[in-house]
Chains A and B, each alone.
Chain A
């Protein structure tokens, strides 16, 4: 049942510059994780996407970019699924 999701996560995690991927549902439960992403951060990521969407009610779900010294994290929420992509700086 989860094979298409696993395949999708594998494809993303093997893309250039990507160091990790995490997929969470609307309840903040981890649906899949690859690379350096941690399953325990699924709740935080889902909550972050939900809160960010509240900034502009009625508009499309935002794409959130978290930038740190060593990596970037892109978070996007769509159809009750939240996807976070971790990118490392040298290749991004």
Chain B
């Protein structure tokens, strides 16, 4: 099943231009599933980078505009879109000239994979 999920993520990554990698992690940034091309910067895949999103999304949720769902970080050469699907976090790394709107709409396609993974993570955290 993990192979099928990985294939699905790889297909999603390849179907959107300039998307370099998709990482599904827990709230601490521990990678659960990862697909990445060779051009993906290593720093963007590190737990230290991804875990900062958990803190940022918690703080953003306190702004009084409801729960924070997505966060886009634009850099000189790359853009990183985080989806808050707690207990899991999805991070999409793309080049800076990728279509941000298209990357943001990837969450609809990733959500089924994440919901299956979330069940596994929930069971593991309870035992």
Residues of A within 8 A of B (CB): 24, 27-30, 40-44, 46-47, 50
User: Residue on A with the closest CB to B100?
Assistant: A27
The SS class assigned to the A binding surface is helix
Min distance, Cβ B27 to any Cβ of chain A, angstroms:
25
Bound: A24/B104 CA distance, A:
14
**Interface residue count on the B side (C-beta < 8 Å):** 9
Number of A-B contacts (CB under 8 A): 36
- Residue numbers in B under 8 Å from A40 (CB-CB): 104-105, 108
Interface pairs A-B: 6 shortest CB-CB:
A43-B101, A28-B101, A43-B102, A28-B99, A27-B100, A42-B101
Residues of B within 8 A of A (CB): 17, 99-105, 108
User: Residue on A with the closest CB to B17?
Assistant: A47
User: Residue on B with the closest CB to A42?
Assistant: B101
The SS class assigned to the B binding surface is helix
Min distance, Cβ A30 to any Cβ of chain B, angstroms:
7
- Residue numbers in A under 8 Å from B99 (CB-CB): 27-28, 43, 46-47, 50
Bound: A30/B17 CA distance, A:
19
Most buried by B among A27, A40, A46, A50: A27
- Residue numbers in A under 8 Å from B17 (CB-CB): 47
- Residue numbers in B under 8 Å from A44 (CB-CB): 101-102, 105
- Residue numbers in A under 8 Å from B102 (CB-CB): 28, 43-44, 46-47
User: Residue on A with the closest CB to B102?
Assistant: A43
User: Residue on A with the closest CB to B105?
Assistant: A43
User: Residue on B with the closest CB to A24?
Assistant: B101
